Amino acid sequence: MRAAVAHRLAIAFFIVQTVAVVYPGLVPFSRIEPRVLGLPFSMAWLTFWIVASALVLWGVSIVEARSRGED
């Protein structure tokens, strides 16, 4: 995958995330059940996005480092 493509996918991911953590995207997930690891679902949902962001950013940085290696 080229770095520019990875960048675009990451930006799309962050836009989806922005919608998912405010009104109206958050409304369906603003609930207590089902509980995840003891946390209310709303808290787990918002935590999920933090962890997913870490993975996405990490992935982009790997793609970028590789594509620079090829130059």
- Which residues of the shown chain bind another protein in the complex (CB under 8 A)? 7, 10-11, 14, 17-18, 21-24, 26-27, 30-32, 35, 37-40, 42-43, 46-47, 49-51, 53-54, 57-58, 60-61, 64
| Least distance to another protein, CB of residue 29, Å | 9
Count the neighbouring beta carbons within 10 Å of the beta carbon of residue 60: 19
CB 57 within 8 A of CB 10: yes
Place of tokens 């409304």: 27
Residue 27 Cβ vs another protein, minimum distance, rounded to whole Å: 8
Instruction: Report in angstroms how near the CB of residue 53 gets to another protein at its nearest.
Output: 4
Q: Taking the CB of residue 6, how many other CB atoms lie within 10 A of it?
A: 19
